[in-house]
Structure 1
Amino acid sequence: MHPAVVALNISEAFENFLFGTSLLEWAGVFTGILCVWLAARNIIWNWPIAIVSVIIYIFIFFETRLYADMGLQFYFLLMNIYGWYFWSRRRGNASAEQPITSMTNHEWLFCAGATVFFTFVLGTLLYRHTDASFPYLDSFCTAVSFVAQIFLARRAMQNWLIWIFVDLIYIGLYISKGLYPTAMMYALYVYIAARGYLEWKKIYLEQREQIN
């Protein structure tokens, strides 16, 4: 292919990416990145921004027929309210935050069991009763995100490892649906989640030193 044609195709693809993406999706990307970055920095204001982000993505996922992800946003909405409340509570004295914790073997078993159960049940419902795209894959990602959000709200440091795993899958899923800015956002989520895990692990170890 002639270099001029290649350059033209690249230019058209860039214009479609930049101008073909709705303002609603750009708003979702911005608030989504901001809330995850704040959570990784252990800053409580991630929760109200996350509430705005999930409301935006309810509409985005409805339009793209990712119904499991759309339903997940309603769950995220409730968990964000709970997380905001839980992080706001003080332990012992007025200045003591809820501590960062480490997941137990029983909690990991809960993650595995809940993921298998919700993937099968939700995937089957979507496959049989809707025109959902990728019903079982979408449901698997939804189930993993379900448990990850629980442990983010409960301040377990391994929540970030679960997010890294599912975000890598989401990148491919959103590319297949043409949600390129959202796919880029999830690629950035992987980096932020990795940094978040290291930051939370550092705080967790400092907490243990103070106890000992």
Structure 2
Amino acid sequence: MLDTIISGAIEYAQTMSHWETTAVLLGVAYLVLAMRQSQWCWYAAFGSTAIFSWLFFDVSLVMESALNVYYLAMAVYGWLAWRNGSQESPDLPVQRWGIQQHGIAIGGVVLISLISGWLLTNNTNAALPYLDSFTTWGAVLTTWMVTRKILENWLYWVVIDAAAIYLYIDRGLYLTAVLMAFYVVLAVGGYLLWRRDYQAQQASPQAA
């Protein structure tokens, strides 16, 4: 299995799409900038997702293609949300969810993934419909969490990106699979950085 993946990756690298390379580089830029809470992350996100929308549709990952159209809208919304913050805090602060909010969020993702996976199985020729649905709906939720600077978004990304690795290897998008593996590592770093900022906020006189 490992030999097959490695040989496939080498063969693919020789004919790799320049568009996929560009999308991957912009995707890495987005995540690194998001870790630093930089507004520029949303510009990188818009460019990356515009390219991926077409790439995923071309390899029959219907839900992933639709997800990237959603990402385009969220890139615009995220830019506005981070820029405007709120009346109380012009710069949007890092926030946390309680156990109940997480329970509702996770339960909702699992339920809607089962429904859309079943619909795709019975009405389309989509590849890996249940896994495709899970990574899609999980990412829909988690992307919105990023726009609101919910700390735990990074932990959600670890799970989603890890699941997406298999999805992309199965579809022959080896470079994108490598990107997802890199994302898992960066998501851990993002969580640690945002947690540090959150703790600093809580310790500040204004938070007291």
Structure-1-length-normalised TM-score? 0.89
Q: 1:59 aligns with which of 37, 50, 54?
A: 54
1:43 equivalent to 2:38? Answer yes
Q: Confirm or deny that 1:149 pairs with 2:148.
A: no
Residues 106, 200 of structure 1: alpha-carbon distance in 2 compared, 3 angstrom cutoff: same
Structure 1 unaligned residues grouped into runs of 5+ = 1-5
Q: Which amino acid aligns with 2:188?
A: A
Unaligned runs of 5+ in 2: none
SS of residue matched to 1:204 = helix
Match of 1:18 in 2: 13
Q: Distance in 2 between matches of 1:165 and 1:189?
A: 11
Counterparts in 2 of 1:13 and 1:92: CA distance versus 1, 3 Å: closer
Separation in 2 of the partners of 1:13 and 1:138? 21
SS at match of 1:101: coil
Alpha-carbon offset, residue 114 of structure 1: 2.0
2:142 aligned partner, one-letter code: A
Q: Name which one, 1 or 2, has greater alpha-carbon Rg.
A: 1
Contact 2:64 2:136 in 1 (8 A): yes
Confirm or deny that 1:101 pairs with 2:98. Answer: no
Q: Deviations over 1:63-107 (max 9, x none)?
A: 1111011111111111111111100014458x8411100112232
Shift of 1:200: 0.2
1:114–1:143: 8 Å Cα contact kept in structure 2? no
Which residue of 154, 161, 168 corresponds with 1:174? 168
SS in 1 for 2:150: coil
Contact 1:102/1:158 (8 A) holds in 2: yes
Deviates more, 1:109-118 or 1:32-41: 109-118
Q: Deviations over 1:93-126 (max 9, x none)?
A: 8x84111001122320231232023202221221
- Whether 1:87 and 2:79 are equivalent positions in the alignment is no
Match of 2:129 in 1: 135
Determine if contact 2:9/2:174 at 8 Å carries over to the other structure: no
Q: Write the distance in 2 (CA, Å) between the matches of 1:52 and 1:194.
A: 24
- Measure, in 1, the Cα distance between the counterparts of 2:126 and 2:24: 23
How far is the alpha carbon of 1:171 from its aligned partner? 0.9
Whether the 8 Å CA contact 1:171–1:186 is kept in 2: the answer is: yes
How many residue pairs end up in the alignment? 204
1:3 aligns to what? Answer: none
Question: Cα 1:20–1:197, aligned 2, differ >3 Å: closer, same or farther?
Answer: same
1:201 aligns with 2:186: no
Partner amino acid for 1:85? L
> How many Å apart are 1:21 and its aligned residue?
1.1
